[in-house]
Structure 1
Amino acid sequence: MTARGNTLGGSTSPYLRQHADNPVHWQEWGVEALAEAARRDVPILLSIGYAACHWCHVMAHESFDSDEVAAALNDDFVCIKVDREERPDLDAVYMSATVAMTGQGGWPMTCFLTPDGRPFFCGTYYPKEGFLQLISAVKQTWRERRADVEQASDEIAGELRAMSGGLPGGGPPVDPRLCDAAVAAVLRDEDTERGGFGAAPKFPPSMVAEALLRNYERTGSQRVLDAVRRAGTAMARGGIYDQLAGGFARYSVDSAWVVPHFEKMLYDNALLLRFYSHWARRTGDPLARRIADETARFIIGELGTGGMFASSLDADADGVEGLTYAWTPAQLREVLGDEAYWAASLFGVTEAGTFEHGSSVLQLRTDPDDRHRFERVRAALLAARARRPQPGRAALVVTAWNGLAITALIEASVALDEPEYSDAATVCARELLLLHLVDGRLRRASLGGVVGDSAAILEDYAALITAMCGLYQLTGARSWLTTATGLLDTVLDRFADPGQPGRWFDTADDAEVLVLRPADPLDGATPSGASSIAEALQLAAHLTGDPRYAAAADATLASATPVLAKVPRSGGHWLAVAEAAVRGPIQIAVACDPTDSALLAAARRLAPGGAVVIGGAVDSSELLTGRDRVGGRDAAYVCRGRVCDLPVTTVENLVVTLEGSV
């Protein structure tokens, strides 16, 4: 019996739909595909990627569009395509296998599995000829050395299960010394010349930068703030940032932030928006303010879809990476005429080029001497760029990444005093709950207003709970907190390890059973599920006073001490949450009319990262129980953990009180 043809046309994944016309008989992961492999007694080819992935497109064009490759696959394999954005649980399992077998991972991921899902050979990108040779070798091995395949897959599955322990429960509480040691270790890896951390390729250190800002707020360390400034400035002025339209690319292929990998991901821009907004709020830096504003507008304008936000913009346009974004001096002259030389000097466009084929990626290493001239030039270049082929947009709406965007837009709204951003955050949260909350449980993703079947994982719940805690603080609407705590109770019931308090699984206890149940504690391109739920628990504990949340938050952070002690750059979000925790976190309750209170606005602007800020009438929330205006004036009550200061009624006194809360 042969495969039943390519069935991806009805998928809710834009990545899978990109492969719906391949001659390869792709199927989605599920019971039917696995059953077919068992019935036919053939191995599974599992290919995992995502819609904006450049090398996924290359392999698709070279191999999966090839009739020759399809003929080699269709009769002897069940071919399964997985979108890592829709099924991060599957991606985590088989990425672990790929890294274990090859020493590295990435996408496209190419795995060969037994019919019951055990991996026996894994890799990443293969050129067509190499892929055909691999297919032939796997066929021969499956036919002639089946016992060896079964033994190898058993051993690999066993090793993966042994590696999947995650963080053990227990451990000492986090304290300031641990945080300071983690920060010192991170700073030892700083590239003080070019900004950021480590060598090429350089990924935006959004979570680490946020943690460093929080450490600076606690310690006042100028060295820490300087590292924040160097990283933030280098990214904002380099080619990784779109100097014409705003928004950050995925990473820089070089150490100087010049040439990006051009895909633009929602999660990167959300995390960076949170950081730049916080930096702007804390220091007033004009570059930070501009980048925060432009990034917020990029998210809303370019990624907005049905009130929510799409996952990414592609790296390619017309199959060419960077086609939309790179410029030559001749192209500048064609658009700008006599102003081309000025623009080339400003944007770093050279005759030799900084990218491919003599083209350059725009940088903005110094501010223009004439802002009006700059805006005129930028508008002309944007108009010309709009006539070029444009990168595709992957319109998949991912719960976790939208949660990150909501939180970032709230931060931007406060930092820039821009209600448009908080309005966008509110609309996104409402639409997300209407579509993705099904029978009390969250789903991972949707496309075009149709929610997918994939269950949400821990990071989805955590990011959305944190976002709704933020909306509750901003609006005072009790419904946000009620929904957040309802979801948090589901997390406690379904994702926590009952035998080890503080340990979390990435999938629910009633989720599909895979080769292993993932429980990865390390932060990657996005915060890990475990570090994210630590933040959500911490916020909910102080907004509700519920001791269950406080105990779970403490246990979760205590489990992360090995990460902070040994690999702090892989625990940027853990460190940010820990920094908030060692300060209490700080809680500011302002007795006031929240629609018109200068003291409440100041509290939001001055609050350190991770603080809880709430405003309203006496007894309107747990933090305002028994707390009223003082002498007819708005009053701010500042607490650090269970220790509170006397109420203050002026912004000046609030500044003094917060400066003393270290």
Structure 2
Amino acid sequence: MNRLAHEQSPYLLQHASNPVDWWPWSQQAKEEAERRDTPILLSVGYASCHWCHVMARESFEDAETAAYMNAHFVCVKVDREERPDVDAVYMEAVQAATGHGGWPMTVFLTPGGEPFYFGTYFPPRPLHGTPAFRQVLEGVRAAWADRREEVADVAARVTADLTGRALGLPADASPPGPDALGAALLGLTRDYDSRHGGFGGAPKFPPVMVLEFLLRHHARTGAEGALQMAADTAEHMARGGIYDQLGGGFARYAVDREWIVPHFEKTLSDNALLCRFYAHLWRATGSALARRVALETADFLVRELRTPEGGFASALDADSDDGTGRHVEGASYVWTPEQLREVLGEDDAALAAAHYGVTPEGTFEHGSSVLRLPRTDGFDSPPVDAARLDRIRCALLAARDERPAPGRDDKVVAAWNGLAIAALAETGAYFDRPDLVEAALGAADLLVRVHLDTHGRLSRTSRDGRTGTNTGVLEDYADVAEGFLTLASVTGEGVWTDFAGLLLDHVLDRFRDDSGALYDTAADAETLIHRPQDPTDNATPSGWNAAAGALLTYAALTGSTPHRAAAEQALSVVRALAPRAPRFVGHGLAVAEALLAGPYEVAVVGAPEDPRTRALHRTALLATSPGTVVAAGPPSPAPEFPLLADRPLVDGTPAAYLCRGFVCDRPETDPDEVARRLGSHEA
């Protein structure tokens, strides 16, 4: 009997009808393996994973393969987005053994959970040196039956290697200084693709945390090269096929170095981070490109990922029905010249083909093209006949909406909703879009009502307003705290600071050891073969770096010395990594820039409905000085923010106090002077 039918995860539910006798990750599955004296076959993936779908069709839906799996293994299916701790532990083993990783991840374990054979996707027949899945199954079964001592030895050595990798803080637990950040910039410059933007070769992922560091480094030092790398990469991505030119939002990554052909999956986490980055790029430069992409991406998040409960779903699938019943990657998004003519007619189709780079040869499969903007004129200059092109875009989007839609993974992940809250709150504030701020408030309300228990502990996931059994990991606490702190600055509602403080208390109490090092899981979480811990960023900021950022922001808003000290301790690892691996600690580098800048603490005192207060508040929010925090509210003997305490009006006029470490300069009543001092920009 397949046991996945009662799970919450859309990924596990995708496999509920497989003939494989799947178990969810559980102690019961380990006990069953022990009882039967068989290995565990652990398969890890996620709902919008293209190759996960491929392996499912080829192997897990095949009756003969499933029968062999059921006879010789206890088969366990894990959604990596629900259980990032399980994924991290075994992915570390896969990467150490094979030199690469990816999903679906396929690992064979002893009944005690110790890994001894590793891989990712296995085809149904041998392919390019990769054995067939059936060959792997037969080989592992034979090794378990005939070479048990060898298997046990491998499992013990791998497990010992993993458990010996605990990361302590450097002896000098101090954060990166100007020299370390300068060395990081130099390393990024060496790896920069000056022709196409981004770093390294194919495949190319949006390096969003690094781009945020570059913006902050420019704001602090004036280094034009840092800003140029960030702006040029942003333009290449926005022109490329990785950006949805019709509906907004970014695909997961580009398979080529020119950003033309994407892997079409669209995730909440990527788009929340990119929405916020483009808003910050506009804040720094006034770029029309950045404004358009930030707003279109925000609208994509609200239109296509918001759930009925007010949260945001995890992802849209890469695959969809191509109209013949086959699920094909990118089917929803690509166009042929003939399809353009069917929708637009001959003349408009010709203009659309030229504008979006659609050719008879195609840029994707079977003569189809991914839409992009290969114009040679400046991006910010209006194209000829902009109104006509806008009508074309609307017509194509309406036609695309008639196509079968990609599947949606509608589980709500706490960490990624925290990222979305921060992005939507700031984008709404910058561009006078109160609807986006309301969407951020709706998601925050869901997290408080559904994910947060009475002790301040977070559940990682929910679906249909009900939480699963998965406890929050470090990135959940850190990213949700960051979202709440951003919401507090934008709305002037101090309660969000209080909620953030509750979460960060758990970070300090349950996710740190005595040295100040951080772990991905809480001390009282399920015990795995080792406790995962990683200060390097991946597609999202590492929990370690995200926690450092949230701790620093909270300290700036509240004056808490312990939170600032914990942030500085955490950043000491970034100091060690900055010169040799800057691409993998971009978020930590960005937090370090804020630390060097102070950061500024801006207390805006005045009646919220007073236009003068609103002008000062908006100017403070638009500050480019790294990590600037803003507290806004009326004068009060018991203000909602500690930063507002003892900050009176100036001659009855709203005022902004610019402070560092709660020590303030003379208050300013002129928004232009506040803008000059904070580097604020108004386009």
After TM superposition, is the score higher than 0.5? yes
Indicate whether 1:354 and 2:368 are aligned: no
Q: Match for 1:311: what amino acid?
A: S
Tell me the TM-score normalised to structure 1 length: 0.97
2:578 is matched with which residue?
Answer: 564
* C-alpha contact (below 8 Å) 1:46/1:111 kept by paired residues: yes
* Structure 2 residue matching 1:174: 3-state secondary structure: coil
* C-alpha contact (below 8 Å) 1:278/1:415 kept by paired residues: no
Indicate whether 1:447 and 2:463 are aligned: yes
Distance 2:24 2:163 in 1: 24
2:329 is matched with which residue?
Answer: 321
Change in 2 beyond 3 A, CA 1:202/1:268: same
1:495 shift after superposition: 0.5
Distance 2:105 2:484 in 1: 34
1:473 shift after superposition: 1.6
Change in 2 beyond 3 A, CA 1:169/1:442: farther
Indicate whether 1:602 and 2:602 are aligned: no
Distance 1:487 1:443 in 2: 12
2:124 is matched with which residue?
Answer: 128
Residue number among 342, 367, 376 corresponding to 2:351 in the alignment:
342
* C-alpha contact (below 8 Å) 2:625/2:679 kept by paired residues: no
Q: Deviations over 1:428-448 (max 9, x none)?
A: 000112111134211111122
* C-alpha contact (below 8 Å) 2:601/2:659 kept by paired residues: yes
1:119 is matched with which residue?
Answer: 115
* C-alpha contact (below 8 Å) 2:219/2:624 kept by paired residues: no
Distance 2:465 2:416 in 1: 17
Q: Structure 1 residues 54-63 or 628-637, which shifts more?
A: 628-637
Which blocks of at least 5 consecutive residues in structure 2 are unaligned?
A: 126-131, 322-326, 376-381
* Structure 2 residue matching 1:636: 3-state secondary structure: strand
Q: Match for 1:313: what amino acid?
A: L
Q: Match for 1:365: what amino acid?
A: P
2:379 is matched with which residue?
Answer: none
2:656 is matched with which residue?
Answer: 636
1:571 shift after superposition: 0.4
1:552 is matched with which residue?
Answer: 566
* C-alpha contact (below 8 Å) 1:242/1:362 kept by paired residues: yes
Q: Structure 1 residues 636-645 or 12-21, which shifts more?
A: 636-645
* C-alpha contact (below 8 Å) 1:346/1:368 kept by paired residues: no
2:629 is matched with which residue?
Answer: 612
* C-alpha contact (below 8 Å) 2:55/2:123 kept by paired residues: yes
* Structure 2 residue matching 1:45: 3-state secondary structure: strand
2:129 is matched with which residue?
Answer: none
* Structure 2 residue matching 1:362: 3-state secondary structure: coil
1:365 shift after superposition: 3.0
1:169 shift after superposition: 6.8
Q: Structure 1 residues 299-308 or 479-488, which shifts more?
A: 479-488
1:526 shift after superposition: 0.6
Indicate whether 1:377 and 2:374 are aligned: no
Distance 2:407 2:576 in 1: 41
1:469 is matched with which residue?
Answer: 485
1:363 is matched with which residue?
Answer: 372
Q: Match for 1:414: what amino acid?
A: A
Indicate whether 1:490 and 2:506 are aligned: yes
Q: Structure 1 residues 40-49 or 603-612, which shifts more?
A: 603-612
2:274 is matched with which residue?
Answer: 272
Structure 1 runs of 4+ off > 6 angstroms?
none
2:101 is matched with which residue?
Answer: 105
1:89 shift after superposition: 0.2
Give matches, 1:231-246, under 5 Å. 231-246=233-248
Q: Match for 1:246: what amino acid?
A: G
2:222 is matched with which residue?
Answer: 220
1:20 is matched with which residue?
Answer: 16
1:8 is matched with which residue?
Answer: 4
Q: Deviations over 1:487-510 (max 9, x none)?
A: 211221111112x12x10100111
Distance 2:527 2:546 in 1: 23
Residue number among 473, 476, 480 corresponding to 1:460 in the alignment:
476
Residue number among 426, 429, 443 corresponding to 2:441 in the alignment:
426
1:59 is matched with which residue?
Answer: 55
* C-alpha contact (below 8 Å) 1:262/1:315 kept by paired residues: yes
1:386 shift after superposition: 1.6
Indicate whether 1:655 and 2:672 are aligned: no
Distance 2:174 2:504 in 1: 24
* C-alpha contact (below 8 Å) 2:8/2:468 kept by paired residues: yes
Residue number among 508, 525, 550 corresponding to 1:536 in the alignment:
550
* C-alpha contact (below 8 Å) 2:599/2:626 kept by paired residues: no
1:388 shift after superposition: 1.6
1:606 shift after superposition: 2.7
Distance 1:295 1:527 in 2: 19
2:155 is matched with which residue?
Answer: 153
Change in 2 beyond 3 A, CA 1:167/1:445: farther
Q: Structure 1 residues 553-562 or 419-428, which shifts more?
A: 553-562
Distance 2:263 2:567 in 1: 37
Give matches, 1:157-236, under 5 Å. 157-165=159-167, 167-168=169-170, 170-236=172-238
* Structure 2 residue matching 1:615: 3-state secondary structure: strand
Distance 1:593 1:279 in 2: 30
1:659 shift after superposition: 4.8
2:310 is matched with which residue?
Answer: 307
Change in 2 beyond 3 A, CA 1:533/1:339: same
1:281 shift after superposition: 1.6
* C-alpha contact (below 8 Å) 1:583/1:641 kept by paired residues: no
Q: Deviations over 1:90-119 (max 9, x none)?
A: 000000000011000000000000001000
* C-alpha contact (below 8 Å) 1:169/1:555 kept by paired residues: no
Q: Structure 1 residues 434-443 or 245-254, which shifts more?
A: 434-443
1:438 is matched with which residue?
Answer: 453
* C-alpha contact (below 8 Å) 1:326/1:359 kept by paired residues: yes
1:167 shift after superposition: 4.9
Which blocks of at least 5 consecutive residues in structure 1 are unaligned?
A: none
**Aligned-CA RMSD value:** 1.4
1:316 shift after superposition: 0.2
1:168 shift after superposition: 4.6
* C-alpha contact (below 8 Å) 2:43/2:106 kept by paired residues: yes
* Structure 2 residue matching 1:369: 3-state secondary structure: coil
1:586 is matched with which residue?
Answer: 600
* C-alpha contact (below 8 Å) 2:559/2:662 kept by paired residues: no
* Structure 2 residue matching 1:580: 3-state secondary structure: helix
Q: Deviations over 1:446-502 (max 9, x none)?
A: 12222110110000000011111112222222321212111211221111112x12x
* C-alpha contact (below 8 Å) 2:22/2:75 kept by paired residues: yes
Q: Match for 2:191: what amino acid?
A: D
Distance 2:599 2:191 in 1: 28
* Structure 1 residue matching 2:656: 3-state secondary structure: strand
* C-alpha contact (below 8 Å) 2:169/2:572 kept by paired residues: no
Q: Deviations over 1:598-655 (max 9, x none)?
A: 1122111234342111112335222122211212222111123465322211022213
Tell me the TM-score normalised to structure 2 length: 0.94
Distance 1:600 1:15 in 2: 43
1:408 is matched with which residue?
Answer: 423
* C-alpha contact (below 8 Å) 1:247/1:295 kept by paired residues: yes
* Structure 1 residue matching 2:440: 3-state secondary structure: helix
Distance 1:62 1:141 in 2: 24
* C-alpha contact (below 8 Å) 1:23/1:64 kept by paired residues: yes
* C-alpha contact (below 8 Å) 1:592/1:600 kept by paired residues: no
* C-alpha contact (below 8 Å) 1:167/1:521 kept by paired residues: no
1:31 shift after superposition: 1.1
1:548 shift after superposition: 1.5
Distance 1:28 1:51 in 2: 15
* C-alpha contact (below 8 Å) 1:169/1:559 kept by paired residues: no
